[in-house]
Structure 1
Amino acid sequence: MTGTRSTRQRDVIAQVLGRAPGPLAVAEVFERAQDDLPGLGIATVYRTLKLLTEQGRIHPVTLDGETLYEAAGKGHHHHFSCNQCGRVFTLHTCPVTLPSGTVYPGGFVVEAHEVTLYGQCPECAAG
């Protein structure tokens, strides 16, 4: 594998994640990246996701025990998981007012938080 091909794979996978409305599972990244890279292998996707994570270009999101990936640099945000279609969306508003440094009952000092809301996405709710 040449350096150029490897760079193209990294760029395509990073672009797939950058265009997604929320974090994607490995299989979704693989499927979407194959449009631009028909010969792409699943092992290459795993290696590239690991490398992009190490480079800070993407970051993992654990949701219901599954690791999903999304582009880095989205700032503070949360997720909505549709119980019907299974898609995960990025929410750009925070439903929780809990600043870093807050002391939660019991002496827990908050450093950060993640929230995932569950329900039906607009498309499934309308259908």
Structure 2
Amino acid sequence: MLKSMERSTRQRQAIRQVMQELNRPLSPSEVLEAARHKVPGLGIATVYRTLKGLVEEGSAIPVELPGEAPRYELSGKKHHHHFHCTRCGKVFELEGCPGDFSFMAPQGFKTERHEIVLYGRCTQCLDPHP
């Protein structure tokens, strides 16, 4: 039992560390690929279970993009938006926010929040010599 608990803690630490190091919204498969370098033998079921646990405890939040499966990032960040590369599919964080969009809501409506996603190509996908 102790060995399984120790392994679980090591896996959880590796997943959290990967999320801090890459510092962008990650899909479970991106988490798996990066965390396997730290914990060989890590499985996708463990990644899903750990991500679910991190969300439940408030350490991570899901990032929902239209038509996409959720990605996950560590919580506690300031309000920000995202850039989605249309070529490789990676999602990156954008610093800051252009402002309050409540003026765009129909008369009498109350805006509670907003999300902005920019779409294009990341620097790696633009580089002709990868």
Which TM-score band (shorter chain)? 0.7 to 0.9
Equivalent pairs counted in the alignment come to: 124
Q: Does 1:50 align with 2:49?
A: no
Does structure 2 conserve the Cα–Cα contact (< 8 Å) formed by 1:14 and 1:57?
no
Q: Distance in 1 between matches of 2:22 and 2:110?
A: 33
TM-score by length of 1: 0.87
Q: Does 1:65 align with 2:52?
A: no
CA deviation after TM superposition for structure 1 residue 121, in Å: 1.6
Query: Which of 9, 12, 28 is equivalent to 1:10?
Result: 12
| TM-superposition CA deviations, 1:9-37 (whole Å, max 9, x none) | 11111111111242111111111110011
When the two chains are superposed, the root-mean-square deviation of aligned CA atoms in Å is 1.8
Query: Which of 75, 80, 95 is equivalent to 2:78?
Result: 75
TM-score by length of 2: 0.85
Does structure 1 conserve the Cα–Cα contact (< 8 Å) formed by 2:23 and 2:73?
no
Q: Distance in 2 between matches of 1:48 and 1:75?
A: 23
SS at match of 1:109: coil
Matching residue's letter, 2:28:
V
Q: Structure 1 unaligned runs (5+)?
A: none
Which one has a larger percent strand, Structure 1 or Structure 2? 1
| TM-superposition CA deviations, 1:33-72 (whole Å, max 9, x none) | 1001102111111111100110111111112331101111
Q: Distance in 1 between matches of 2:16 and 2:23?
A: 13
CA deviation after TM superposition for structure 1 residue 106, in Å: 4.2
Q: Distance in 2 between matches of 1:112 and 1:55?
A: 23
Identity of aligned residues (%): 50
CA deviation after TM superposition for structure 1 residue 98, in Å: 1.3
Q: Structure 2 unaligned runs (5+)?
A: none
Does structure 1 conserve the Cα–Cα contact (< 8 Å) formed by 2:24 and 2:91?
yes
Matching residue's letter, 1:23:
P
SS at match of 2:64: strand
Q: Does 1:19 align with 2:21?
A: yes
Q: Which residue of 1 aligns with 2:91?
A: 88
Does structure 2 conserve the Cα–Cα contact (< 8 Å) formed by 1:14 and 1:58?
no
Q: Which runs of 4+ in 1 moved over 4 A?
A: none
